[in-house]
A and B are shown apart, each in its own frame.
Chain A
Amino acid sequence: MNIVLIILKWLFHILVFPGFLFTLCAALLLAGIDRKLVARMQNRVGPPLLQPAYDLLKLFGKEIIIPRQANKKAFLSAPAVGLASLLVTSLLLPFSASFVAVSGVADVIVVLYLLTIPAVAIIVGAASSASPFAGVGLSREMVAVMAYELPLTIVLVTVCRKAGLMMDESGMTFSLATVMQYQAEHGAMITKLSMIPAALAMLFIIPCEVGAHPFDIAEAETEICEGTLAEYSGLPLAFYELAHYVKMFILTSLFCVLFLGGFTTGVVVVDLILRLIFCVVVTFLCITVPHAVCARFKVEQVFKFYWTWVLGLALVSLLLVWLGL
């Protein structure tokens, strides 16, 4: 009886909340809001809020073309793997200090690695499609991953150290739940002076990790014909689009966990709404605004930007935290 209940609870977490269904809806909503906001900033009316959903549904009904030279299995399974690993990540992010869908494993390093899998899935899919445009795209995607991963690591270590100094006798914690706990007791990370550079760095990292506009070098549709996605059509393409939206939601959600964790009430529903509002704000700051005002970077510019300015911000924060400030 007990086992059945546990399994049912797991299934509920995986399929409904905060897994499949909830993440999907939240991600689509977030993407819709993003597109609408970009349009408003450019003085346009913009597409309807549900436009991402329409796009997906339309892609479901399109023909799937698999190029003759492509490796069929890798070509079709890569998008599914990418999406699945993102949905697994969504189960790891705590919503408040008390609620994590799968507790005990909310580990920062696991999240970091799970977040690289979608990029790897895109790359493997692109490589298997045997298109020269995809070849260029995947090389750019990998350079982007190399670019943002270094500052991202430092930001995560900084947060772990900051929370661990107070909450863990070893002086370091890797549990996201503990990070939330710390913020519930001592106020949100963003209110600490030493964490502000790290938060800024994280705001710069999110658009590159998502592949949003000024950093969408891998899918530059005007120069390399959608790059990594050049050969995809129909359902697999829909999976990639969906992964893109879900990634946007998960990363902004991660930002909320790391830096805005203190603002919780303990009531799950209220926390949920708060979280969604924060997500929209973060999305507006780091995805919508650059999208509306910036032109696309070149590959080596992206790399240089992340390994100088963003890295510098993250390191300043790490040093400050290490000095106990």
Chain B
Amino acid sequence: MLRKLIDESAAKSPWIYHINAGSCNGCDIELVSVLTPRYDAERCGFKLTGSPRHADIVVVSGPITVQTRDRVVRTLSQVPEPKVVVALGSCPRSGNVFKGSYSIDGPLDKYCHVDVSVAGCTPKPEAIIAGLAKAAEILKEKRKEMH
């Protein structure tokens, strides 16, 4: 029964860790706006954490520059299981306008499995919430697979 409770609460308390992999800061601001009184993602238990060790959902924004590549991979590996990776905006999934630049080494799914991708430049807060909600569901599934 305890196990079932744990599985259930996995979806109800997803803590977010945010990595900026060379983003223009547009997506980052929109992600913060999701937690403001207007959208209030804390309703669903979302919370921003400061350390990858506490995170359930890792939100990556930006087109993965050469400089950030190793750091993104390293930080992603330091998140405890179960974890869900969310690509925020168009950059991490395609490179967006930066595609082809010498300093870009994307997209994100070269380095890890991306569970949810929220498209847009920048995505609307509603879209981000929808994506995060989807990620929380995936989190629960992953949690169930762990045992």
The answer to whether A46 touches B45, judged by C-beta atoms less than 8 angstroms apart, is no
Q: Is residue A185 contacting chain B, with contact meaning CB distance below 8 A?
A: no
The answer to whether A57 touches B6, judged by C-beta atoms less than 8 angstroms apart, is yes
Chain B, range 29-85, C-beta contacts under 8 Å to A: 37, 40, 42-45, 48-51, 53-54, 56, 78, 80-82
Q: Please, which residues of chain B bring their CB within 8 A of the CB of A222? A: 50
Pick from B8, B44, B48, B81: contact of A62, CB under 8 Å? B81
Q: Is residue B13 contacting chain A, with contact meaning CB distance below 8 A?
A: yes
Known: A58-B56, A61-B143, A65-B53. A234 touches B80 (CB 8 A): yes
Interface size range on B against A: 20 to 34
The answer to whether B40 touches A64, judged by C-beta atoms less than 8 angstroms apart, is no
The answer to whether B54 touches A57, judged by C-beta atoms less than 8 angstroms apart, is no
Nearest Cβ distance between residue A54 and chain B, in whole angstroms?
Answer: 4
Q: Please, which residues of chain A bring their CB within 8 A of the CB of B44? A: 47
Q: Is residue A43 contacting chain B, with contact meaning CB distance below 8 A?
A: yes
The answer to whether A54 touches B12, judged by C-beta atoms less than 8 angstroms apart, is yes
The answer to whether A43 touches B9, judged by C-beta atoms less than 8 angstroms apart, is no
The answer to whether B45 touches A226, judged by C-beta atoms less than 8 angstroms apart, is no
We find that the number of chain A residues with CB closer than 8 angstroms to chain B is 35
Q: Please, which residues of chain A bring their CB within 8 A of the CB of B54? A: 226, 229, 232-233, 237
- Write the B1-20 contact mask toward A (1 if CB under 8 angstroms, else 0): 01001111110111100000
Known: A55-B45, A64-B80. A44 touches B56 (CB 8 A): no
Known: A62-B80, A65-B80. A54 touches B49 (CB 8 A): no
Q: Is residue B97 contacting chain A, with contact meaning CB distance below 8 A?
A: no
The answer to whether A46 touches B146, judged by C-beta atoms less than 8 angstroms apart, is no
Q: Is residue A136 contacting chain B, with contact meaning CB distance below 8 A?
A: no
Complex Cα–Cα for A226 and B80 (A):
16
Pick from B7, B48, B50, B51: contact of A61, CB under 8 Å? B7
Pick from A51, A61, A230, A233: contact of B146, CB under 8 Å? A61
Chain A, range 211-237, C-beta contacts under 8 Å to B: 220-222, 224-226, 229-234, 237
Q: Please, which residues of chain A bring their CB within 8 A of the CB of B6? A: 57-58, 60-61
The answer to whether A230 touches B51, judged by C-beta atoms less than 8 angstroms apart, is yes
- Write the B82-95 contact mask toward A (1 if CB under 8 angstroms, else 0): 10000000000000
Pick from B8, B43, B80: contact of A233, CB under 8 Å? B80
Q: Which residue of A lies closest to B78 (CB)?
A: A65
What residues of chain A have their CB less than 8 Å away from a CB belonging to chain B? 35, 39, 42-48, 51, 53-55, 57-58, 60-65, 133, 220-222, 224-226, 229-234, 237
What residues of chain B have their CB less than 8 Å away from a CB belonging to chain A? 2, 5-10, 12-15, 37, 40, 42-45, 48-51, 53-54, 56, 78, 80-82, 143, 146
23 A-B pairs (CB sep. < 8 Å): A39-B40, A43-B37, A44-B40, A45-B40, A46-B42, A47-B45, A51-B12, A53-B9, A54-B9, A55-B15, A58-B6, A60-B6, A62-B56, A62-B81, A62-B82, A220-B50, A221-B48, A221-B50, A222-B50, A226-B54, A231-B51, A232-B53, A232-B54
